[in-house]
Amino acid sequence: MERILLHVGGSGRDIPGFLRVGPGAGPASDAVDGLPFPSGAVAGIYCESFLERLEVPQAMRFLRECRRVLAAGGTLRVVTPDLDHAVRTYRGDWRKQAWLREPGQGWITRRGAMLNQLLRGDGRRWVYSEEELVELAGWAGLGAARRRPPGESGVPGFEGLEPAARPEAGRGDLILEVSPACRPESAEPLVSVLIPAYNPAWFEAALHSALGQSYRRLEVVVCDDSSDGRIQQATARAAAADLRVRYERNEPRRGGYENFVHCFHVARGEYVKFLADDDLLRPECLERMVRVLAARPTVTLVTSHRRRIGPAGEALEDVPATARPVPGDSLLDGIGAAGLILSECLNFVGEPSTALFRRADLEDAGPTPLCFAGRPVHWNVDVAMWAHLLGKGDLVYLVDTLSCFRQHDAQQTLVPQSERWSVANWEQMRADALRLGFPIPCARTEVLVRPLAAVPEKPGEWPSAARALHAYGLEMHGRQRFPQAADALRRAAALEPQFALAHLHLGLCLYALGDFPGAASSLARAMELEPQVPEPVRQLAESLRRQGAGGRAGVPSPAV
């Protein structure tokens, strides 16, 4: 099957073998808010003279869209001005640059004007250093960054793409190639269950719930921050019977935040599950979650319903945060789910004990794993972790109760200052989320939710460009995003003129948009190619032919 290669850029040139998208490539195309392709359908994306013309939130949305549409092993090549080069030029002999001799640049007679033109001229809004672009790409779920010289690449089809006389010639280019984060899965990954322990009251029950998992390949790491020896004694009893237990005594005591961080740093597993010393895991918890995470490389976080329990283990009623957000096991768009959490200040994913994730996906969060957008978060640390992870991939929610969250009077969330700290942290995370292009505010209806069983675990064979555009058009039509649907279907029909279904569905989409002449033309073409169209479509086409463009046809649009 042919490879789909995309060209996103503001230069206006066409590259043989590449399909242009984005500015000037179609009436409704927008490379920032939606590349018109299904997930995992694209082999490569060449992006030139584009990223620097976006604000950072827009650039992050674009990078996440690239991650979504790229197939495993696909590559995004970004060509953008280099901030480090601009700074070196400013500090050096700044007049020795070829572009200063181009027509229209004679007004630049001072070092400061030169630098501002480099950073702001020609519609540039943000110029990146290599360090910043690599970090932002990683937060968007793209990894394995490689810097390339102009015209050179290890990716077939990407060699020689930079013309000898680029408009940016002499200004210094930053050329990076990145791919969707590689998540090779072992057949039976090691899971680290991390217990940052300090309260011995329910610790032993938590420890035994971890060791009692039906999934056996795990380590239970206890980092003891308590004030007496009871946790150490309970752990020693368990370790004598089970070699999977690891124990560390904190001397001196680290405090809750640092103990949490330390647990993560000493974990050895590919997957991580935190377990508070007063919470419980159901025996099948890890087995269910590991099965989902191992089978779905685009998923970065798996969670489930959790049961609230009291000090004696008695069941408590659900509250809004613990109520199931979906009726059945579902896959949720990660960036939308994070936007919803931050918009409503409602952590439906759960406390740290509730979820499972890959350790590698959290290692680049910042100075500590309890960071969001590179800034440490000292309250609502679970939300900070979830937001970071969901910026990179999707969420799976399992509706069965797989963990128990104990509520009691000794919890840190009940200290007098907790409400003030919580409000401040929500505000900080929302501000950072906006900077990174998260959808805030976000309504529940804006989050794409699909039944888990209906989403293939691994992508199938790459479709042709026309078939991929057709599939995307149908998805957009189903979500009543008719301009995007029409644009994708129009492209599909142009790429493959004999593709009868593309013409048919384009006709129905144009009808929904009120473009009756266009609908009539597309439906007529579909019937030329495929005479055996459904009878409702034939009736609509005939009605449009009789009535012309004078008014809405008297036949309802058939379902796509």
Query: In b/e form, how buried is each residue of 74-113, taking b as 16+ CB within 10 angstroms?
Result: bbbbbbbbbbebbeebeeeebeebebbeeeeeeebeeeee
| Banded model confidence at residue 51, pLDDT cuts 50, 70, 90 | very high
Q: Given this model, what pLDDT does residue 413 score?
A: 58
Q: Enter the pTM of the model.
A: 0.85
| Banded model confidence at residue 335, pLDDT cuts 50, 70, 90 | very high
Q: Given this model, what pLDDT does residue 165 score?
A: 47
Q: Residue 89: name the closest of 79, 100, 103 by CA.
A: 100
Percent of the chain with pLDDT over 70: 91
Whether the CB-CB separation of 124 and 163 falls below 8 Å is answered with no
Task: Please list the residue range(s) of the chain that carry CATH number 1.25.40.10.
Answer: 465-547
Q: Given this model, what pLDDT does residue 549 score?
A: 46
Average the pLDDT over 537-554 and give the result: 71
Q: Given this model, what pLDDT does residue 329 score?
A: 97
Q: Given this model, what pLDDT does residue 304 score?
A: 98
CA dihedral 133, 135, 139, 143 (to 10 degrees): 90
Task: Please list the residue range(s) of the chain that carry CATH number 3.40.50.
Answer: 5-180
Q: Give me the residues paired with residue 412 across strands.
A: none
Q: Is 204 exposed, middle or buried (0-12, 13-18, 19+ CB in 10 A)?
A: middle
The residue among 32 and 88 whose pLDDT is bigger is 88
CATH number of 5-180: 3.40.50
Residue 458 has pLDDT above 90, yes or no: no
Q: Residue 182: name the closest of 146, 129, 228, 217 by CA.
A: 146
Whether the CB-CB separation of 46 and 17 falls below 8 Å is answered with no
Report the SS3 class of residue 361. Answer: helix
Q: H/E/C letters for each residue in 521-534? A: HHHHHHHHHCCCCC
- Over the stretch 391-411, which tens digit does the pLDDT of each residue have? 999 999 999 999 999 998 776
d(CA 168, CA 176): 16
Whether the CB-CB separation of 8 and 45 falls below 8 Å is answered with yes
d(CA 283, CA 314): 18
| Banded model confidence at residue 183, pLDDT cuts 50, 70, 90 | confident
Average the pLDDT over 193-201 and give the result: 96
Domain 191-450, architecture per CATH: Alpha-Beta Complex (3.90)
Chain centroid offset of residue 241 CA? 42
d(CA 469, CA 34): 12
- Over the stretch 123-178, which tens digit does the pLDDT of each residue have? 899 999 999 999 999 999 998 899 999 999 988 889 998 875 454 445 678 999 99
Q: Give me the residues paired with residue 174 across strands.
A: 80
Task: Please list the residue range(s) of the chain that carry CATH number 3.90.550.10.
Answer: 191-450
pLDDT averaged over the chain?
Answer: 88
Whether the CB-CB separation of 71 and 462 falls below 8 Å is answered with yes
The CATH homologous superfamily to which domain 465-547 belongs is Tetratricopeptide repeat domain (1.25.40.10)
The amino acid at residue 43 is A
Percent of the chain with pLDDT over 90: 60
d(CA 292, CA 314): 30
Q: Residue 221: name the closest of 201, 242, 199 by CA.
A: 242
